[in-house]
Chains A and B, each alone.
Chain A
Amino acid sequence: MKNSIIRKVALVLMLALALMPVMAGGSSEKSAAPAQPQPARQPSKTITLAMVSPWDSFIPFETTSSYSDVVLDLMYDKLFYLKADGTYEPRLATSVDVNEDSTVLTFHLREDAKWADGEPVTADDVVFTAHLYTSPSVNALRKNNLEPFAGFGEGDGTLQVEAIDEHTVAFTLREPTNVDYLLFNKFRDFYILPRHLLGDVPLADIRTASYWASPVGSGPCLFQSQISGERIEFVPNPYYYQMNGNWEKFVLRVVPTGNLLAGLMNGEIDALAGNVGSLQLADWDMAQQQPGLVCVAAPSVAYQYMAINTQHLTPGVRRAINMAMNRDLIIDGLLQGEGVAAYGPVAPNNIYYNPEIEEPYNPEGARELLAAEGWDPNRVLVMSVPTGNATREQAAIIIQQNLADVGIKTQIQTADFATHLNKVRAGDYDLGFIGSSGSPDPSECVINFNPDHMNNFSHLTDYTIFETGDKGGHVFTFEDRKAAYDEYQRLLREYVPFAFMYFENILYAHTTRVEGIKDVQDYTQLNRDVWNWTIVE
């Protein structure tokens, strides 16, 4: 009897053990190349990069997620490598020419660029990609990026993009437009797709094409396998034209923020993804004390702001709110100095920054303004704060106290981001906290002040701020652009549709095992030069 029970238990255990690999890998792990046998010994030159949330899709026109952008940038090449200081370096395009009246952009592509299957990357691929993104049957989520080009939204929607020769491609603009504005705002997430692999797929079936299960791109990494929501494994694209690194395998992993430091310390992770994977402030001191880690507090163009419902509050009250905010307290107390005060969307170290936008902390002035506006001290404003960013939630409490000090009562309402965004877009709020990934180009935030745009969070009805800012995208000398953005920033201070709060540093770390990681701030421009990363044993 006893033996029989033991036998049964042993049988159940063996069955459970036999099923474990099936449950773990059999159903969840997808490989790009089932025909290729798994090597007996995995390459030891592996780099593991960590970000804090999973990607959505490998289809560039099916996502707007910054986490997906990390993956897409590794797999697909882009025209230029954008830098946080507002300059750009060659990538697939070696240079860009603009015709005399700034209506045609001509990109010159590298002649040695190849897809990971060995086929050359040509101008036809760029034309194919532009047409695919703007096709009405595809309805790409970021289709509007190509809105400045002729043909967009007209007739059958075919964009005026032409392959001049095998390595030259010309984009015709609807109206003269500044090239920096276009590169930083419109081409930042323009991932080139292979015509020879996707060109024969009917557009109606493009989303379900088998290609997306194991994409072959022309970026530095070639997809190998994924565990959905946990990791993607790559090998180097054998044909990538600027590969300098010595890694043999590249793993992108999803790791919660709280585990990043633990992962770096015990060697599970080699580097963080930066803007979508940086250390929490509570871990920063400890990280800096670790001998095997290189820690960098990189200035970021990403900023946090408080949208103010212009339909609920007068310009005078909005300005009083802007004056009442003690940004230094947030920077020194909350961020422990790892950030700078934001008075507008343009960072203070940007060449387009206008110091006139600064509104110093002035509670007395705020009180006077409120008195002049006839402010009712019993009125309670709804302060809508999204969850998911602990620093921002704590900043809301400081600002609530700042506003109480000048006689403005507020009630904080926290909600998940989707709910919060719905309330803000519907105008069902007074003060709403939002973040932006920012840009070195000063035009980044202008669209938010277009009364017709869905991201007009402050519900402006006046076009003045938008039109002034938009002018900066259509003038061509630095002086003309500076003048336009100076005026735009002055208007932001005067009308205060947003009360800007802070630019928070990226608390970045990588292990000393990996070298070649530099300019972490460039990661906010959705590009990482992983081709330069090298493992030192």
Chain B
Amino acid sequence: MGKYVLRRLMVAIPTFIGITVLVFFLAYLAPGSPLEMLFMDSNADAQVMADMEARLGLDQPVYVQYFRWVGQLFQGNLGTSYRTGLPVWDMVGERIGPTLLITLASLFLSVLIAIPLGVMSAYKPYSGWDYFSSGLSFIGAATPNFFAGLVFIYLFSVKINIFPSSGMYDSAGAHTFADLVHHMVLPTFVLSIQQIGSLIRQTRGSVLEVLQDDYIRTARAKGCLESRVLFRHALRNALSPVITRIGTMIPFLVGGAVVTEQLFSWPGLGSLMVLSINSRDYPVIMGITVVIAVAVLIGNLIIDLIYSVLDPRIRFSK
């Protein structure tokens, strides 16, 4: 097991370095510099701009800037934002909690809804239940986040007025946990819709395949209860591809959070990323990239480990 973890880590390290190189150079290759936006003001001065360029080190070649950034990273420093003048660690630290909150809640909600629907769908294929959950999965998978968000805001904020349309808390009330959950409902559902759709399909296909296997027939022949056959024998063996799918959902959830956070004014990493890209705030772009890359790599590692526990053959394959 230890060797397996080490092997996965050895793959993760060059992947992480590759991601940082790619994002850093792509960000710098994009036309427009951070100073363009800061000095849009008609009273802006070219000399002040040149001084600032030198102060921020933006007059250095791009590879020098990259290695300087890597040097800072090794010292645990992600640099200072060009836009706000604040340490990037502080900015990312402030935003990571809200993003984790809606992405994890969304992951939890997706699993909670999709797996039972997928299992039931596979258990009684081509039944009314199956058509209902398959239809739901197609609609879910095909609905873009921004569209679902607008519909939800119209229905639940404007028409029925039971959920707020943006933000984390009410203005007048105290910042209570109940208030937070109330504000989380719409963004979490919106972020979950696509994932629920694809996870239902994955679960249905996987369970359907396992249900044809001999050991299921054997279990039934031995007189096992149907619920035991379904949830203990079939679902457990069908879980490997489902868990892999859940693993691949993590980057999608983070990506989807960019749109969802913008739409609901949710103060997470996604909305900060959009703002930072628009203002060419390279240190913040890189800071968020590091955090997301590490989160996704750790997420994948955990999924790999779970996968190897569920299917021991993986640990021993080269």
Which residue of A is nearest B162, CB measured? A266
Q: Is the C-beta of A44 less than 8 angstroms from some C-beta in chain B?
A: yes
Alpha-carbon distance A16/B36, docked complex (angstroms): 43
Residue in contact with A57 in the complex, picked from B84, B93, B278, CB distance below 8 Å: B84
Cβ B98 vs Cβ A24 within 8 A: yes
Alpha-carbon distance A173/B85, docked complex (angstroms): 32
Interface residues of A in 504-536 (CB under 8 A from B): none
Minimal beta-carbon separation of B78 from chain A (angstroms)? 15
Cβ A259 vs Cβ B165 within 8 A: yes
Size of the chain A interface, CB-CB below 8 angstroms: 76
Q: A249-B172, A256-B263, A422-B36 given as contacts; is B180 within 8 A of A144 (CB)? A: no
Bitwise interface map of A from 294 to 324 toward B, beta carbon under 8 Å scored 1, else 0:
0000000000000000000000000000000
Alpha-carbon distance A258/B263, docked complex (angstroms): 8
Cβ A421 vs Cβ B37 within 8 A: yes
Q: A141-B52, A422-B32 are in contact. List 17 more A-B contacts (CB 8 A).
A: A41-B174, A139-B51, A139-B52, A142-B43, A144-B43, A144-B45, A145-B43, A147-B45, A185-B43, A227-B267, A228-B95, A229-B272, A229-B275, A268-B165, A416-B277, A418-B30, A418-B278
Residue in contact with B168 in the complex, picked from A24, A30, A57, CB distance below 8 Å: A24
Q: Is the C-beta of B218 less than 8 angstroms from some C-beta in chain A?
A: no
Q: Is the C-beta of B101 less than 8 angstroms from some C-beta in chain A?
A: yes
Cβ B42 vs Cβ A46 within 8 A: no
Cβ A30 vs Cβ B94 within 8 A: yes
Which residue of A is nearest B90, CB measured? A228
**What 7 A-B pairs come out closest when comparing CB atoms?**
A418-B32, A230-B267, A23-B97, A64-B41, A422-B32, A46-B172, A144-B45
Q: Is the C-beta of A48 less than 8 angstroms from some C-beta in chain B?
A: yes
Cβ A28 vs Cβ B43 within 8 A: no
Partner-binding segment picked from B8-16, B69-77, B153-161:
B153-161
Minimal beta-carbon separation of B259 from chain A (angstroms)? 11
Interface residues of A in 394-440 (CB under 8 A from B): 415-423, 425, 436
Cβ A64 vs Cβ B97 within 8 A: no
Alpha-carbon distance A204/B166, docked complex (angstroms): 40
Alpha-carbon distance A483/B82, docked complex (angstroms): 43
Alpha-carbon distance A423/B32, docked complex (angstroms): 8
Cβ B167 vs Cβ A268 within 8 A: yes
Q: Is the C-beta of B68 less than 8 angstroms from some C-beta in chain A?
A: no
Residue in contact with A266 in the complex, picked from B33, B37, B158, B272, CB distance below 8 Å: B158
Cβ A418 vs Cβ B101 within 8 A: no
Alpha-carbon distance A64/B45, docked complex (angstroms): 12
Cβ A139 vs Cβ B48 within 8 A: yes
* Residues of chain B with a CB closer than 8 A to A42's CB: 172-174
* Residues of chain A with a CB closer than 8 A to B104's CB: 16
Residue in contact with A27 in the complex, picked from B43, B94, B265, CB distance below 8 Å: B94
Alpha-carbon distance A24/B168, docked complex (angstroms): 8
* Residues of chain A with a CB closer than 8 A to B91's CB: 228
Interface centre among A261, A266, A436, A447 (most CB of B within 10 A): A266
Q: Is the C-beta of B44 less than 8 angstroms from some C-beta in chain A?
A: yes
Residue in contact with A255 in the complex, picked from B86, B98, B167, B175, CB distance below 8 Å: B167
Cβ A423 vs Cβ B31 within 8 A: yes
Q: Is the C-beta of A29 less than 8 angstroms from some C-beta in chain B?
A: yes
Cβ A262 vs Cβ B165 within 8 A: yes
Size of the chain B interface, CB-CB below 8 angstroms: 70
Which residue of B is nearest A267, CB measured? B161
* Residues of chain A with a CB closer than 8 A to B271's CB: 229
Q: Is the C-beta of A155 less than 8 angstroms from some C-beta in chain B?
A: no
Alpha-carbon distance A24/B181, docked complex (angstroms): 10
| B residues at A contact (CB < 8 Å) | 30-34, 36-46, 48-49, 51-52, 55, 83-86, 91, 93-98, 100-101, 104, 108, 150, 153-154, 157-158, 161, 164-175, 177, 180-181, 262-267, 271-272, 275, 277-280
Minimal beta-carbon separation of A389 from chain B (angstroms)? 13
* Residues of chain A with a CB closer than 8 A to B262's CB: 256
Bitwise interface map of A from 195 to 214 toward B, beta carbon under 8 Å scored 1, else 0:
00000000000010000000
Q: Is the C-beta of A38 less than 8 angstroms from some C-beta in chain B?
A: yes
Minimal beta-carbon separation of B96 from chain A (angstroms)? 7
Q: A230-B267, A266-B165, A268-B167 given as contacts; is B174 within 8 A of A38 (CB)? A: yes
Residue in contact with A230 in the complex, picked from B43, B55, B167, CB distance below 8 Å: B167
Cβ A141 vs Cβ B44 within 8 A: yes
Which residue of B is nearest A26, CB measured? B97
Q: A144-B44, A454-B49 given as contacts; is B158 within 8 A of A262 (CB)? A: yes
Cβ A454 vs Cβ B94 within 8 A: no
Cβ B31 vs Cβ A21 within 8 A: no
Q: A256-B166, A416-B32 given as contacts; is B95 within 8 A of A229 (CB)? A: yes
Cβ A27 vs Cβ B96 within 8 A: yes
Cβ A28 vs Cβ B94 within 8 A: yes
* Residues of chain A with a CB closer than 8 A to B38's CB: 64, 141
A/B interface sample: 12 pairs, CB < 8 A: A25-B180, A27-B97, A28-B95, A46-B171, A57-B84, A143-B48, A230-B167, A259-B263, A418-B33, A422-B36, A448-B42, A454-B46
* Residues of chain B with a CB closer than 8 A to A455's CB: 40, 42, 44
* Residues of chain B with a CB closer than 8 A to A425's CB: 36
* Residues of chain B with a CB closer than 8 A to A259's CB: 153, 165-166, 263-265
Alpha-carbon distance A227/B266, docked complex (angstroms): 10
Alpha-carbon distance A455/B52, docked complex (angstroms): 17
Which residue of A is nearest B164, CB measured? A268
Q: Is the C-beta of A367 less than 8 angstroms from some C-beta in chain B?
A: no
Q: Is the C-beta of A358 less than 8 angstroms from some C-beta in chain B?
A: no
